Each structure stands twice: as C-alpha cells, then as structure tokens.
Structure 1
C-alpha cells in the first residue's frame, strides 16, 4: 500500500531507490530540504551538487553534464524551475534534446502561505509549449515513485512537477493501475461524463465522482499524469462514450491540462467541455485548504461543472 505522502517526498525517496547509476547526477539550487533531493545527497554525495541560488546557471551546468552522457536532474521550486530558467531550458536543454530532467517542487496553489510569488500556476503551460519536452504531474506517492523511475529511464528533456502537502494515496487501490509515460489511466468507468484530472486534483475528482453517483450520475475519472505527450486515444474514447468532458488541474486554465485536452477535443469529437482550475488569476497567501476552495478546486465545484457539461450535450 502506498503512503499518504507529498509527491515531493515520494519523489525524493524514489530518486534514491532508482538513482544507483554512476551516470546519474543531481543538482539543487540550495533547496534540497524542500525539493527532497537531500535523500539523494545523503546517500550519493559524490553525485550531488548544490549550485546555490543560481538556477539558470544550474540548468546550463546540468546540460554540460548531459553532453558528456550523464542523466542530469535539476531541482528547485516550480516557480523558479520554469520561469527563472526558461531560456536555458529552451535553448540549452530542449533545442539540442539533452537528457536533463527539470524537477519543480511546490507546484500550484498548495504552496499555501508562501503566496502568489511562489505559487506556480503557469509552469505546465510554459513547459509543454517547448518542443521535445515531456511533462509529468503525478497525483500521489505511488504514482510519483513509478513516474520517477520512468522519467530516469526515458532519454530526453522532462519536466516533473511535485506538490508540497501530503496527499492521500489513491492509485494503489485500483487493480488495473500501471504507469506509462503518455498513457492516461481510467480509474473509474462512467457513461454520463468524463472527469480528466492531473496531480493532486485526481483525489478531488474521485470525491466529485462519489457526489455525482449519489445523484444517479455516472462519471468516468481519468488520471492524466502525463500532460505531454497527452493520451489522445483515451481522450477521444472518453468523448465518444460519455459525450462530455471536465478537466481539473491545480494550474491556470490557460495552457495546462485543460488546454491540452481541448486541443484534442476540438479536432475530433468536439463535445461539451468545462474547465476547473485557476481562472487566469494569481494566487493568495492562505492555507492550501482555504485556497483550493476559494478557487473552486474542490469536489463540489467539479460536480457542478460535470452537470453543466451534461446539460450542454
């Protein structure tokens, strides 16, 4: 059974578990106790480098290691991992297609009291817009562990987003669960509407499914852990079979999961679709629970959006 951990802690533990490779090197921007790369630093100090508060420099150093055959993983808060280093990621990592993994912790609103300056709500959109970049957003400790292994084994650039708070482990409750980059996972079958979620919104989507079930509405729930490449086949199948889609993400509704799914829908089935996420606003300083409810990232709002999508059929 998976533990109820934050995905950043689960990632840190998995990095140690799957990091026994002399060609794997880890870099951190003076935040190893937050990004949880400290686990790796303690076990493999000879392959860990604290670059200090010099994020752009860190990415270029990692790129240099990658040109010599290394698998290089860089770590900092998601807001810095994608924003402060965008130019280096685009031109030094993705343009030459180097084997560098960008691990952004503290993604989304659930950074909480750190406030808007540290709440990355644009990171997924920024990273999926770069050619050649893979984007992964695990939802719990079990998925984070398996995703870490898959990311390390996959050659090429990757953005891996983790969260700060501990969350319920849900994926290990499903017998058919298996992780593969680029393949979504149908957690619950349904015929009336499909809820597609990523990250810690998967848990909220499952709660919404239960609320809808009480009203006689059968919602399908899909864990879309890989935003790029998106699982087009699963999205199209869900659109055909349920006729309505709701996307749920701890991210701006512009550029993230919702946009990625909409790009598939508008080219194929073109069914009614609703978006649950931050409505093109910055965050605020408050507890994660308060923030998620304030911005509508909660089961009740997901259920309402599902009913709205059904009404639009």
Structure 2
C-alpha cells in the first residue's frame, strides 16, 4: 500500500524549488525568461536575476502589462515564466490571461505565487481562492497545483518543455515530501497516494498530505480511504473520477473556494456520469482575517476536518 505522511525534516517552501529548477533550465535554454510585477523577492527570483540579469523583465505593479509582455515574448520565440502573486495574476489580469494567453494559445507559463490563503492576515484582497473557478473554463490552459517539492520541480520542467499555455499554482507555505515510491509526473493524471475502496478523498496542492493523514485516522476506524493527488485541475483525470465514483462516496479537499474549484469540477463530473455523495472541503467565500493555521482549522482543512467530511459522505451513501 502506497502511503504519504508528513515528516518533520521534509517540509519545504516550494518556491525555492521552483526557482532552482528554473535556473537549471535557463542554463540550458536561452529562450527562458522571467517576467514579474515588482515581485522579484516574493517570487524568489533574486538568484535568477543575478545569474541572468538580462533575462528578467520587471514591469512594476502593472499585472495586465506583465501578462501582455509575456504574450509578446512568447510570440517572439521566448519561453516566458510570468510570476506574480496568484491573487493578482488571476484577478487583475484575468482579461489578459483569457485573451492574450489562452485565446491566442501562446506559449506562456503563468506562475501564481503565494496562492490560496498563504497571505493569511492580509485578508480577502490577498487571498487567492477563486483562481480555479476563473481559470478552469479556459480549456487549453493547463492548470497544475504541485503537492510537494518533487512535484514542483517536475511541473516546472514539464511546463518549460510543453508547447502551450500553463498555469502553475505555488504556495509559500512549507509542505512535507510525499513518501510515494516510483513516482512519475503525468499532467492530466491523478496520483494514487493511498489505496482504499470504502471512499475516495481527492486533494490537491497543500492539502494532499492532510488528506493522507485523514486516511490514517479513518483506518483506525476500519475505513479504507483511497487518496488521490489531483495536481492537474485542468484537464481533469476522468478515468480516475470514474474509479472514485465506484467507491460510492467522494471527499474533495482544496485550499480554494468550493464554488467552481476542484470540488465543483468533481461534482459536475459525478452528476453527469455517476451520482454519488460528494463532500467538498474548502472555503465558502470571502474569509475573515486570520492566520493560515486558524483559517485551515476553522474551515475543516485538517486531518480531523477531512475525517469528519468523510464520515458525512459515508453517512449519505445509499
């Protein structure tokens, strides 16, 4: 049985991994450039800028311009990684993401930093919990939410090699390495974190290790929960969703709004193909100001909260 669990030594800020990977790729490919909105520091691009000073474009606090510059660079044969806080790259520049990147099908890699509620006490203006719902309808935009350092590195490498628009959603919150043997990064394919047949927990990003911990708790109650890492939000792994429906109940877990996000996508699919109880763990809307830890606990993004959602889903199963 493949399992994943937090290990104290394994917690890492995935932004460090993203930039070290980008630097390695840039050494080998002169087409790779970075575009930022006065966010070199928060994007962890300081060392990249020192190594490649002529390959960083800082447009200042002008996110719409930033995305447009990325589109222009891609049209000129470069591979731009456009990096900014996720709340601004998807909120302020959504029209440019839609028209300049997705509609034009330009080879731009959008990197949404400090996603979800990572900014904590800065409140709703800096929370990025609506981004899944905004981006999912852009059918040709691949949306990837890495769950740990290894997956972050693999996602950056894949994005650089992929010919087409990509959105990488990265957090500033350290996460543990998932202890899964023989891992293989396959965009559009779910990763099995833990086997189980009584119900399925589908998670992404910073919540995957919490889902695995919830499955451990359920196991002590004699409940075998399957845990899937849905690191690709768009496109969804429909084969995995068919298999998840076969377990009879599903819990989705995301550091995002349950309206239109991963939970919404799974509910859409099950309603159309095989209706089963779906419990969505995430955020209901604008959130109060509070620390990341408090927000996670308050809205059930914890092993205990996910366990409770699983029991509710099992109670609804016919």
Q: Distance in 2 between matches of 1:164 and 1:282?
A: 20
Worse-matched range after superposition: 291-300 or 5-14: 5-14
Deviation string 1:223-279 (CA, Å, 9 cap, x unpaired) is 000000110001111211x11111000000011111111222122221111100001
Which residue of 2 is the match for residue 179 of structure 1? Answer: 185
**Is residue 149 of structure 2 the alignment partner of residue 141 of structure 1?**
yes
Aligned to 1:271: 276
Q: Is the 8 A contact 2:33 2:56 kept in 1?
A: yes
* Aligned match for 1:223, one of 226, 229, 232: 229
Who is 2:78 aligned against?
Answer: 70
Aligned partners of 1:121, 1:38: CA distance in 2, in Å?
27
- Shift in alpha-carbon separation, 1:45–1:3, aligned structure 2, 3 A: farther
TM-superposed deviation, 1:289: 0.9
In 2, Cα distance between the equivalents of 1:229 and 1:50?
Answer: 31
1:8 aligns with 2:15: yes
Asked whether the equivalents of residues 110 and 291 of structure 1 are also in contact (C-alpha less than 8 Å), the reply is no
For structure 1, the 5+ residue unaligned runs are: none
User: Does residue 237 of structure 2 align to residue 237 of structure 1?
Assistant: no
Structure 2 segments unaligned to the other structure (5+ residues): 1-6
Change (3 A) 1:76 1:223: same
How far, CA to CA, are the matches of 2:163 and 2:46 in structure 1? 24
Coordinate RMSD, CA, aligned: 1.4
What's the TM-score, normalizing by structure 2?
A: 0.94
Tell me if structure 2 keeps the 8 A contact 1:3–1:141: no
**1:12-70 alpha-carbon deviations (Å, 9 max, x no partner):** 22211222311111101111111122232222222111111111101111111111111
- Secondary structure of the structure 2 residue equivalent to 1:116: coil
**Count of residues in correspondence between the two structures:** 309
TM-score normalized with structure 1 length:
0.95
